[in-house]
Amino acid sequence: MKQNILITIIGPTAIGKTSLSIALAQHFGCDIISCDSRQFFKEMNIGTAVPTKEELAAAPHHFIQNKSIFENYSVGDFEKEALEKLEELFTKNNIQIMVGGSGLYVDAVLKGFDEFPDIDESVRTEINAKYDEFGIEFLQDKLQELDPEYYQKIQTENPQTLQNPQRMKRFVEVCLGSGLPYSSFIGKRKIERNFTPIVIGLEADREIMYGRINQRVDIMVNEGLVEEVKSLLPNQHLNALQTVGYRELFDYFNEKISLNEAIEQIKMNTRRFAKRQMTWFKRTENATWFDFETDRNEIIKVVENLTHKNATF
């Protein structure tokens, strides 16, 4: 009996994941599940580096510009929809591909989420009131007090999360509502999947990676990024738009910084984002890493061997 296999391609932004995923999809005759959380939204095109029309035509893609910025779409929603789509695709081909730079979304599909207790609505109301009064510092101080271990983990591995009100509220409400640290609920649930993951990572020396990012931002600007962001200005408050490449240009249009400053900040913040991506992905168990310039046929050969090892049970 053939085992289902999900080939998952990870790595930082601008490293070449899309081209590798297409090469693999064409080799195995299968589809591609995108798990880039910025590419779900149809109103965001240039600033999210959505695959070109030619790339989308080269292999069947799913979860590319399939949502609107006006919809609430969570990582839990994506997990459910992606697993349903994979269930369907595996009936046609026992090998499928997933690609993307959103580590949390990759983990959601490969490993699932831990189970947390139901929290009384009064706790949530109180936390929202405190946040409205004291800001993000209240949430940071509270998490550091209630779960210093998890606070330190975030500070080390993904410090931007400490500035994310929604996620910080969630951490604090679990601590307060359960009387236990948030970290005590992590890793307790055994998740079963109907596929075996094969994880392929692409990487590059830091300076090369940063150069590719700077070049990509320049290309985005030449392709009309400033105009795209201007068209979204009336909706700048939406969660989907609180992301690199958009926030900086909103500051420009709101006359907080110059256009040149905005572009330089996009480059800097994208480089920081790529560094965090690598920190996250390097923790991935059993990943096989390649330099981004490795010949695609060589990578395909390695993946072919890995699929044969895992193809039957």
The region, left, alpha or beta by phi > 0 then psi within -120 to 50, assigned to residue 38 is alpha
Beta bridge partners of 32: 61, 97
Q: Among 275, 312, 307, which residue's Cα sits nearest to residue 288? A: 307
For the chain, how long is the longest CA-to-CA vector?
A: 62
- Residue 97 is classified by DSSP as E
Determine whether the annotation assigns residue 101 to a binding site. Answer: no
Determine whether the annotation assigns residue 287 to a binding site. Answer: no
**Dihedral of alpha carbons 301, 111, 157, 211, sign:** positive
Q: How far is CA 183 from the centre of its chain?
A: 21
Determine whether the annotation assigns residue 12 to a binding site. Answer: yes
C-alpha span between 222 and 263 (Å, rounded):
11
Contact 102, 36 (CB under 8 A): yes
C-alpha span between 272 and 218 (Å, rounded):
17
Helix 148-157 and helix 136-146, axial crossing angle in degrees, nearest 10: 120
Side chain identity, residue 85:
K
Determine whether the annotation assigns residue 14 to a binding site. Answer: yes
Determine whether the annotation assigns residue 13 to a binding site. Answer: yes
**Dihedral of alpha carbons 208, 293, 8, 58, sign:** positive
Determine whether the annotation assigns residue 48 to a binding site. Answer: no
* Numbered residues of the known binding site for ATP: 11-18
* Numbered residues of the known binding site for substrate: 13-18
* Numbered residues of the known binding site: 11-18
